[in-house]
Amino acid sequence: MGNSVIDQRNVVVTGGARGLGAAIVKQFSATGANVSVLDLTSPELPPLGALSNEGSIVWYRTDVTKEREVRNSVREILGTHGPIDVLINNVGGAVWPNLDVSMRSLDIPTWEHTFQLNVHGAFYCSHHVIPYMTRSGNASIVNISSVNALMALGHPAYSASKAALSAMTRAIAVEYGPQGIRCNGVIVGTMNTKAWATRLNCYPNLLEDIASAYPLRRIATPDEIASVVLFLCAPGSSFISGTDIVVDGGLTAGREDLANRLMPDFCGPNVDNEFS
């Protein structure tokens, strides 16, 4: 995307070991950024630092749901790279103790752990990084959210936690905008990552069936989402703050099946002009 120059900026990516996080790390590193990865596991990447001739990649073993670990890793990053320009709160996910996660059956530990993963971790990272973000006028935080924040698609704890993350995005943007820090969210639709592996073992055609619900009739690749994240941290997005960018292939735009029911072919030209 235009003006995607991140050269020599210091970037922190949580959950950068695989999937979308790894795609984000690769794209930032390719621009020459120094990328610090906070994750419990080592990134599924070539040897650290080998992805780019310009940028560096360093892994800090961190459980972002543990405030002390986040604080210690941020201190280490500051000592190595100096002030942080960009924070990508990518860690998140749905906790599935069993197949039934309806509001009726959802247990308290699952609810609490889901919020720890999707909200608390982003808060801990933002809380400890913001005081040390550069005042360059283009410091940026991006929170990775989900279409579940906008639609009821099952798992109420996941939906509620992602909606809370969107609210935190707006709060950060308003409070820290005067200090030159922007904050935005990326609302993500279904992506083809290894997170689906267990469910695909049980239902091999699952992703094809999900894709049929999207107007584009396909799901996203991690690289497509990562390019939007990169744009939100680049000069070309310098007046975008406090909003969620929806990258969902048209899923939340409407339902084709409902549209077809509202406009049935068999009604002919004398169909009512009222819609309600």
Cα–Cα distance, 209 to 207 (Å, whole number): 5
Contacts of 230 (CB under 8 A, 6+ apart): 1, 4, 6, 24, 27, 28, 31
- Concerning whether 158 is annotated as a catalytic residue, the answer is yes
Task: Write down the catalytic residue from 26, 60, 124, 158.
Answer: 158
Angstrom distances, CA of residue 149 to CA of 26, 144, 159: 27, 11, 5
Strand order in the sheet with 181-188: 57-61, 34-39, 10-14, 86-89, 139-146, 181-188, 244-247
Task: Spot the catalytic one: 26, 60, 124, 162.
Answer: 162
- Determine whether 60 is an active site residue: no
Q: At CA 247, angle to CA 243 and CA 248, rounded to 5?
A: 130
Return d(Cα 94, Cα 155) in angstroms, integer: 8
> Measured between alpha carbons, how far is 243 from 255 in angstroms, rounded to an integer?
24
Identity of residue 175: E
Between helix 222-232 and helix 19-30 the angle, nearest 10°, is 50
Q: Please choose, from the candidates 55, 57, 18, the residue with its C-alpha nearest in 3D space to the C-alpha of residue 39.
A: 18
Buried b (16+ CB within 10 A) or exposed e, 62-98: bbbbebebbeebbeebbeebebbbbbbbbbbebbeee
Q: Are 156 and 106 in contact (CB under 8 A)?
A: yes
**Residues forming the active site:** 158, 162
